[in-house]
Amino acid sequence: MPDKIVKRFFIPLFPIAILSILAASLLFFSRGQPAASFPIQQITYLGFDRDVYPGDAAIPILRNTFSFTGYWLSPPPGEKTNTWTGKREFVRKLGFGFLALYRGRDSPEFKNESDATVKGSLDAQIAATTAKKEHFPSGTIIFLDVEEGGRLSPAYHAYLHAWEDVLKHSDYRAGVYCSGMPAKEPGGVTILTADDIRDHAASHQFVFFVYNDACPPSPGCSFPPKSPPPSASGVSYARAWQFAQSPRRKEFAANCPPGYHPNGNCYAPGDKSFAWDLDVDTASSADPSNGSRP
């Protein structure tokens, strides 16, 4: 009798004990760090930018490939007029996000740091005023187009700091479009312009849109369903990455996979007439400037 009683209780309790251990284990691991064992794949978005507005007919076609577009708030480098003016609402209603851009100055334009500060403030004021006219909402990131590579001068850093100060007080955010490509210096030292700006930022906060069209890391003129993350540019903190340029820069993109047109430009898949040469971007947001809100 006693033996039978023991067996009668032991048999049902054994699976209950096992289930309790499993439940405790699951609870333990759920409170641990599952992200380290099961990493979440980063979502990325393709975009384009070009100096000249491609025309109203082009925008729906380009939307088939791209989630966002560059949008100039000033004449682009080398241009005297801005053909994007007045197009924001049309582009936004077709579902595009934005990279709001403003042309930065070149170093020879600064007499000294004080002069650079004045000009940085002035450019930020014009950028903010134009953004309001184009109905970009508060909090939109405006990327200053810095064409110079390598280490920047103290005057240029003063210009950038003034740009950030004034935009911040105008309810916009300061971004910088700059090089993410290593520039060689004497003694075997290399420097990224993005790192140089970040290292000198002090209390100033910048959002980075970098360019690096060298293959690798660039995939060249391509439009993959899963675009590379901006961090693959070599700048881990970049919000957006321009990985292809038109025309192709042979000194950097000579080893890129096929994709560039024989004339050296990059065209979207839907551009059958090769009418809209463009630069190709990737970002961690479908609206990198946070500017598509009504």
- Taking residue 289's Cβ as centre, other Cβ atoms within 10 Å add up to 29
Is 94 domain-assigned? yes
Confidence of residue 41 (pLDDT cuts 50, 70, 90): low
26 and 53 inside one domain: no
Mean pLDDT along residues 232-252:
97
Residue-wise pLDDT for 112-166, tens only, equals 999 999 999 999 999 999 999 999 999 999 999 999 999 999 999 999 999 999 9
Mean pLDDT along residues 210-227:
96
79 and 22 inside one domain: no
Residue-wise pLDDT for 253-276, tens only, equals 999 999 999 999 999 999 999 999
CA distance 189 to 169: 37
The identity of residue 285, as a single letter, is S
Residue 283 has pLDDT above 90, yes or no: yes
CATH at residue 219: 3.20.20.80
Residue 49 has pLDDT above 70, yes or no: yes
- Residue 22's domain comprises 2-36
Mean pLDDT along residues 208-214:
98
Q: Total structural domains in the chain?
A: 2
68 and 31 inside one domain: no
170 and 196 inside one domain: yes
Cα angle, residue 290 at apex, residues 286 and 291 outer, rounded to 5°: 105
Residue 202 has pLDDT above 50, yes or no: yes
Is 93 domain-assigned? yes
CA distance 188 to 178: 22
Is 289 domain-assigned? no
Is 170 domain-assigned? yes
105 and 126 inside one domain: yes
27 and 113 inside one domain: no
Is 291 domain-assigned? no
159 and 218 inside one domain: yes
The identity of residue 41, as a single letter, is Q
89 and 153 inside one domain: yes
pLDDT at 13: 36
pTM of full prediction above 0.75:
yes
17 and 114 inside one domain: no
Is 238 domain-assigned? yes
127 and 272 inside one domain: yes
89 and 209 inside one domain: yes
Residue 201 has pLDDT above 70, yes or no: yes
Is 293 domain-assigned? no
85 and 203 inside one domain: yes
Residue-wise pLDDT for 4-30, tens only, equals 333 333 334 334 343 343 344 433 333
In the chain, the percentage of residues whose pLDDT exceeds 70 is: 86
Is 290 domain-assigned? no
